[in-house]
Amino acid sequence: MNSVIDVINKRVSLRKYAQRDISKEHLNLIIDSAIKAPTAGNQCLYSIIMIKDSETKEILSKSCDNQPFIAKAPLILIFAADQQKWFDYFQHRGVKEYAKKENISFEAPQESDFIIACEDALIAAQNAVIAAESLGIGSCYIGDIIENYEFHKELLNLEDWVFPVCMLCFGYYEEDFKRVYRKRFDKKFIVFEEKYKKLTTDELEEMFEEKEKRYVENNKYNAENFAQMLYAQKTGAEFSREMARSMRVALKKWDGRKL
Amino acid sequence: MNSVIDVINKRVSLRKYAQRDISKEHLNLIIDSAIKAPTAGNQCLYSIIMIKDSETKEILSKSCDNQPFIAKAPLILIFAADQQKWFDYFQHRGVKEYAKKENISFEAPQESDFIIACEDALIAAQNAVIAAESLGIGSCYIGDIIENYEFHKELLNLEDWVFPVCMLCFGYYEEDFKRVYRKRFDKKFIVFEEKYKKLTTDELEEMFEEKEKRYVENNKYNAENFAQMLYAQKTGAEFSREMARSMRVALKKWDGRKL
């Protein structure tokens, strides 16, 4: 163990923040750590949108599946997959004409460009999270920024090839904050040697045994077991359907059409 | 500055490794750090495939855009977005029948499930990278694992809803290794306040000024500037086209069809 792994182990998702601003020094260290993250071909295929305005936070707290704590986060960073800058640059420097002359195809960003840019954005985001944690600043990922795509696009002035893949709330831990750790699945269900292994039903039952203790018999979903309850609460719930719709709409922009 | 941010700052992508195995203790710390990473709703929507077999490494070094150094990495971890386990579990616990009874829809994983699972996988991957770095173990992301989808699916025994979003090579730094840091774009082109800002052509020229120094006049691509050269070398190159094809094929599995 060392101090880095100690920070990784100590982190929890923080949803209640000391009500004071992130210091300028700490903010810079968080941003610089994000930018220091590995990025495909040193292309930095992402952008960070920094939200400090309380009105925007209020709006995001509603548009991201109604989570009031978001409005109280001293700092919000939105990490966006971004191929816009590179493609604008390509167009500006005559790549279209060059491609035509060389008889190669010049296409708009497509799904693979989307995913590579998402990788850059997420790797940078996690660097920010760890740097923050080391400074006593907690964080919480908000995947719900993927919902309401058109609304967020307008709110944040996003271009077609800029996709907000995750949002992070940051704030100092409160002094008396008690960290509660959530148990992960047993390692043997996450790590496989040499090849992936489809789990048998016996293995699935063992994997989910701990989670199934969270099942409540008289639940409002008429669910008869934990799997049904979780599906009703999460995977099949309204916010997930909205996320699915949003993602489909957003991905349509990354169509690889001839430019 | 602290030791965590120091580790973040010191890291470079390492492509040449001391030829000795990762110790068992260090391997466990790397894996445990990955699993400790934040994950959407504590669902752990990813799997880690650990490659130590030298034949498989050899194959991957070829199938991932012919990069011989991959075969010499003492350890390879493939991080895969994984919704297979949860959906197998849902099916096993009668969610289909439940959904029918409750008149809600039970659908196969779709694009949003794909991206949320990719987020989990990448966030875990970056935790592994930082933990490793703190132990004197360097790493290199290989995005090319996205290429040759069908081949990798068979090689790694992947299910339809398991997608290898990134691969990481690990190995100890050699004692005399000199770290060379690649300059990132200026912060002002990555971080935006409150809203995204489409860059003007003047700003694009400033952003890419440093990169444009890498342009070589007599290049084999007949490129007349850096943008054209980079497009020919990377964005428009054969391996990128293969990645685009692969990604399209893989994404078709995440179709949200009624189960």
Domain ranges within chain B, ordered by starting residue: 3-182
| pLDDT score for B186 | 97
Per-residue model confidence (pLDDT) at position A259: 86
User: ∠ CA A182-A32-B189 to the nearest 5 degrees?
Assistant: 120
Residue B235 confidence (pLDDT): 93
Q: What is the pLDDT of residue A257?
A: 94
- pLDDT exceeds cutoff 80 at A34: yes
Shortest CA distance from A197: residue in chain B: B157
Mean pLDDT in runs of 10 for chain B (259 residues)? 94 97 98 98 97 98 98 98 98 97 95 98 98 98 98 98 98 96 97 98 98 95 97 94 97 94
| A214 interfacial to chain B (CB closer than 8 Å) | no
Q: Give how far Cα B2 sits from Cα of A9, A29, A33, B32, Å.
A: 17, 10, 12, 22
- Tally Cβ neighbours within 10 Å of residue A139: 27
Annotate B118-140 with b (16+ C-beta within 10 A) or e (fewer). Answer: bbbbbbbbbbbbbbbbbbebbbb
B 59-98 residues inside an 8 A Cβ radius of A: 80, 84-86, 88-90, 92-95, 98
Tell me the three state secondary structure of residue B256: coil
Q: Say yes or no to pLDDT of A41 above 90.
A: yes
For residue B199, the model assigns a pLDDT of: 98
Distance CA B259, CA B250 (A): 19
Interface subset of A 217-256, CB within 8 angstroms of B: 221-228, 231-232, 234-236, 240, 243-244, 246-248, 251, 256
The pLDDT of residue A247: 98
Q: What's the pLDDT at A1?
A: 72
Q: From the centroid of its chain, how far is CA B12?
A: 16
Inform me whether the pLDDT recorded for A107 exceeds 90.
yes
Is ipTM beyond 0.85?
yes
Domain spanning B3-182 has what CATH number?
3.40.109.10
Dist. CA A92–CA A100, nearest whole Å: 15
- Strands, DSSP E only, in A83-172? 137-142, 162-172
| Confidence (pLDDT) at B259 | 86
